[in-house]
Structures are given as structure tokens and as C-alpha cells.
Amino acid sequence: MPVQLQQNRYGKSRVRVMRLTRHNGHHDLDEWTVQLLLSGDFETAHTLGDNSKILPTDTMKNTVYVVAHETKATSIEGYAQDLIDYILARNPQVSEAECIIQSHLWKRMTVDGQPYPTAFMHGSDEVQTTRVSRKQNAAFEITSGLDGLFILKTAQSGFIGYIKDHLTTLPETTDRLFGTVVKAEWTYTAASIAAEIDFNKVRKHLRETMLATFAKHDSLSVQQTLYAMGESALAHTDLIDKVYLLMPNKHNLLIDLKRFDRDNPNHIFVPTDEPHGTIEATITRT
């Protein structure tokens, strides 16, 4: 039976990098988990076992370290662009390179009421993300975002007017806890990438904008709040043209204390992870 190789790529995953940058009087700390994927002329490696066009993934790992040492970039987006340029310039058999990075958050310790210049602690499970790709002799494509951002509001959230049938047990409410773990991704316009924008500044402002919308929004559903957050991000800047949001509904279940002769006016809950609702959407400009 005749077959053919339709699509393939390969690379190195979960390359961990801790980068310490020493300044006069303080240090900066970056922790990255890097994935580098290559597409190109690799068919004979699959069909004939010919490795003459294969850059070993161990070499790719070492390249991640060397470019992290040499780059002047202060953002994960800038570093990813330098890494891709390094690979493409030296490997004509590679038609496209993609770099995916998670940046793990460290914040300075507070000592004697002040941020300490050389001691750090993990801020949260939140990670900053980027996916950068470029074909040979083409422009960069960049999608950045965040993941693992745990947020919760204790007011301005309800859920009413939904479908009810013989299997419905969920009571309507106009006052509930709304907890979620946000994954957000936004796609930069070609013009903004070419302009060499400050990716760290844009990320900070988009994050703050979406969090402010979450806190202030009078939520009738997770869907409505998710849409409002994406809408506010696009209204905040013209440097992006699309926002994807994934917001699971992390339920907090009100405990029935009547059997103990006590009322529970939205006071004591059980936080649950499973099962949970899954809500996602992509918001774009019209």
C-alpha cells in the first residue's frame, strides 16, 4: 500500500533556563521553560533513515542556553525572536521555526518593609506565555498571553434564566462566588511586531485591564464576563487583533447547615476542582 509523509516537525521540549542578570545594586531573575520546534526538509530522515539534514535536539537544547546568554532581549518575545533567527540563519534546510516559552513568576522578597534586591519568592502558579514563529525570509508571528491565573470575586455575580428540565438540580442565584483560572492569549499585529514594541509593557497593561474588568463587571454568566474581558483588552490597544480566553468555572458549593440548626447566608462553601464548567471563546475586531 503506497503511503507518503504528509507533515512533520521535531524539536526539543521542556528546556529549563534560569537567567540571572546582575545590575549595580540589584539582580533580575528569569525562569523559562522553552520548547523549540523545526519544520523543513526532513523527509529522508523518516523514509530512509538519512540524518544528514537533522540538527540534533541536544544541539537545540544547547542553542537555547547560548542564545539566552547572548541575547540583549528583556522579554520572552524578544528572546524567542533571537533564538529563531539564530536557528534559521544557520540551517537552510529548516523552513520554519517555532518557539513556545513559559515564564515562571518570581517576585522580590519584602524585608524590613522594602523589596530586597537579591532574594526572591514564587509569586503564584501563573505563567507568562508566548508562541513565536517565523518562516525563512518571512516576518515573525507572535501570540502571547498568560496561564494559571487564579482569580475569584465574591460579589456582582449570578446565574439565572437558563434551561431547566427534569435533570436540572442547580438552583438559580443572584449572589454567588465566581472563581476561575484564566488562560489568555492575544495575537500581535504585523505592524506592532515590526515596530519592536515593549512586549512587557503591553502584557502588564492587558493583564491589568482584563483583571479590572473581571472585578467590576456585573456578571450574569461566565460567558458574559469572559466576553467583556476580551472586549476591554481589544479596546485598550490596537497592537493586538485577537484575544482567546479560557475560563473554567471553579465551583464553590454552598454548604447546607440546616441539619445543624444553622443558617448559611453565603458564608461557608466547599471549593471544588472537579467537575467544573469549561468556557472558552475568541474575540476579534470586526
> Pairing state of beta strands 94-111 and 114-135?
antiparallel
Domain range holding 91?
9-136
- In-domain check, residue 4: no
Distance (Å, whole) CA 223 – CA 112: 43
Q: What phi and psi values does residue 46 have, to the nearest 5 degrees? A: -80, -45
Domain termination residue (choose one: 119, 136, 153): 136
Total number of domains in the chain: 2
All residue ranges of the chain with pLDDT < 50 are none
Residues 100 and 172 both lie in one domain:
no
Check if 57 is active-site.
Answer: yes
Which of 33, 57, 71, 237 is the catalytic position? 57
285 and 148, same structural domain?
yes
- Measuring CA to CA, which residue among 37, 40, 38, 32 is closest to residue 15? 32
Residue 116 lies inside a defined structural domain of this protein: yes
- Domain match, 110 and 163 both: no
The answer to whether the Cα torsion of 70, 76, 77, 81 is positive or negative is positive
pLDDT of residue 273: 87
Closest CA to 160 of 168, 171, 147: 171
Tell me the C-alpha distance between 247 and 214, whole Å: 11
Asked whether residue 17 is assigned to any structural domain, the reply reads: yes
Q: Does 1 reside within a domain?
A: no
Q: Is 61 a catalytic residue?
A: no
Domain boundary among 101, 117, 136: 136
Question: What pLDDT, on the 0 to 100 scale, is given for residue 123?
Answer: 81
Pair 285, 148 in one domain: yes
DSSP codes of every residue in 266-286: S--EEE--SS-B--EEEEE--
Q: Which listed residue (12, 61, 104, 183) is catalytic? A: 12
pLDDT the model gives residue 34:
98
Render pLDDT for 247-265 as a digit per residue (tens, 0 to 9): 999 999 999 999 999 999 9
List 61, 183, 250, 251, catalytic entry? 251
pLDDT given for residue 1 in this prediction: 82
Residue 130 maps to a domain:
yes
46 included as an active-site residue: no
As a whole number of angstroms, the distance between CA 82 and CA 99 comes to 10
For residues 129 and 253, state if they share a domain: no
C-alpha cell at 224: 458574559
Looking at residue 267, which CATH number applies to its domain? 3.10.270.10
Instruction: For residue 182, give the nearest of 146, 213, 232 by alpha carbon.
Output: 146
The last residue of one of the domains, among 136, 167, 200, is 136
Closest CA to 202 of 108, 98, 74: 74
Say whether both 123 and 154 belong to one domain.
no
> Vertex 223, ends 222 and 225: CA angle to 5°?
65
